[in-house]
Amino acid sequence: METELSKRLGVEHAIFGFTPFPAVAAAISRAGGFGVLGAVRYTAPGDLARDLDWMQEHTGGRPYGLDVVMPAGKAPGVTESEVEAMIPEGHRRFVGDLLAAHGVPPLPEGEASGWRITGWMEHVARSQLDVAFDYPIGLLANALGSPPSDVVARAHDRNVPVAALAGSAAHARRHAEAGIDIVVAQGYEAGGHTGEIASMVLTPEVVDAVGPLPVLAAGGIGSGEQIAAGLALGAQGVWLGSIWLTTTEADLHSRALTAKLLAAGSGDTVRSRALTGKPARQLRTAWTDAWDDPDGPGALPMPLQGLLVAEAVSRIQRWETEPLLGTPVGQIVGRMTSERSVQQVFDDLTRGFERAVDRVQRIAGRSGS
């Protein structure tokens, strides 16, 4: 699965794997892909440095990257506590009542919430970059549009290419104008924050919109056959995220959540604002149903919703409250039916890719005879 882009970046397979777990990112790189570690959870620079040190030791010299969440425009200079003060009391009561209805205990005394969406704040993202640029990262990706121009310039000064996710051709054109090097065309089927255009339509639109910039196909991809389809549509690689959640290297801290993912079908996800305030595809649960109910208060805009529900999500995960337990995941969850190592996933992807290419070559051969 070599393309011009994969050769340029020094990887065997044009598979870019996004994950919040360092062990998964490192395993993706060792398997011949390009592991990309999500940084949004790292609010303390020392924690990110610790995990990048670990990545350095466990990638076998293979390239890896970092994904941040950073707005292109100047973010308001406010603190997290000032933002939290904007949360209406009625929404706080709604969260409390929902947890009480499902019997979710509080966190044990002294145990802090482990889930904080603060990486959106510009000063947090910039502190992550201050750490990351001390390491030989091979890619900087941004999940919230194009990063600020000075960040793009800072990456380019270090010969680090910059990627950005796009949900439409118009988004992709703005990335190209901002000097982005790689555009990730993320379709409606994808897990997490995603737009409304399906991958089969979006990928060729973005390829046409920004060529000759390389494009990665994303959203609903979890087999080698689908990788072949993405490349056939003009992409120079694929960006996979959900498929790694049920790998043996992933650290979900919850057997109940892993079981839910393995049992879910492709129709068991929903695009909801319940987690962050922006539409994000995730498992459909009693939690998403409550927030999407027209009789409820409705989700707050980002970042208020993420800050509002942070402790609640930690409590749900801590006590594995099954009806409320969920995670961002794409429609590909229906193919995630067993736990496999990252290497086993790669083996399946490469075999499927070979089958698809052989099938198309046979068809082409017959049609030309």
> What is the per-residue pLDDT across 169-222, written as a single tens digit (0 to 9) for each?
999 999 999 999 999 999 999 999 999 999 999 999 999 999 999 999 999 999
Judged against a pLDDT cut of 50, whether residue 369 lies above it is answered with no
* Closest among 188, 238, 280, 257 to 28, alpha carbons compared: 238
Any alpha helices (H) in 62-112, and if so which ranges?
Answer: 80-84, 89-101
Check if the beta carbon of residue 234 is closer than 8 Å to that of residue 206: no
Residue 248 CA from chain centroid, whole number:
18
What's the confidence (pLDDT) of residue 101?
Answer: 98
Judged against a pLDDT cut of 80, whether residue 117 lies above it is answered with no
Check if the beta carbon of residue 40 is closer than 8 Å to that of residue 120: yes
Quick one: what percent of the chain has pLDDT higher than 90? 82
d(CA 65, CA 138): 5
Alpha-carbon Rg for the chain, nearest whole angstrom, is 20
Check if the beta carbon of residue 13 is closer than 8 Å to that of residue 32: yes
**How much is the pTM?**
0.93
Nearest 5°: the CA angle 249, 250, 252 is 145
What's the confidence (pLDDT) of residue 73?
Answer: 55
* Closest among 227, 217, 139 to 183, alpha carbons compared: 217
71: amino acid identity, one letter? P
Lowest mean pLDDT among 45-49, 257-261, 265-269: 45-49
What's the confidence (pLDDT) of residue 235?
Answer: 98
Judged against a pLDDT cut of 80, whether residue 72 lies above it is answered with no
pLDDT tens, residue by residue, 226-252: 999 999 999 999 999 999 999 999 998
DSSP-derived secondary structure letter, 335? G
Judged against a pLDDT cut of 90, whether residue 253 lies above it is answered with no
pLDDT tens, residue by residue, 263-274: 999 999 999 999
What's the confidence (pLDDT) of residue 76?
Answer: 54
Ramachandran category for residue 316: left, alpha or beta (phi over 0 → left; psi -120 to 50 → alpha)? alpha
pLDDT tier, 368 (very low <50, low <70, confident <90, very high otherwise): very low
Which helix (H) or strand (E) covers residue 227, if one does?
Answer: helix 224-232
Q: How many CB atoms lie within 10 A of CB 314?
A: 17
DSSP-derived secondary structure letter, 268? S
d(CA 213, CA 206): 10
* Selected residue with higher pLDDT from 97 and 364: 97
**Domains along the chain with CATH numbers:** 4-71+120-250+357-364 (3.20.20.70), 82-112+254-324 (no CATH)
d(CA 326, CA 261): 9
Residue 125 CA from chain centroid, whole number:
16
d(CA 58, CA 104): 38
d(CA 97, CA 309): 13
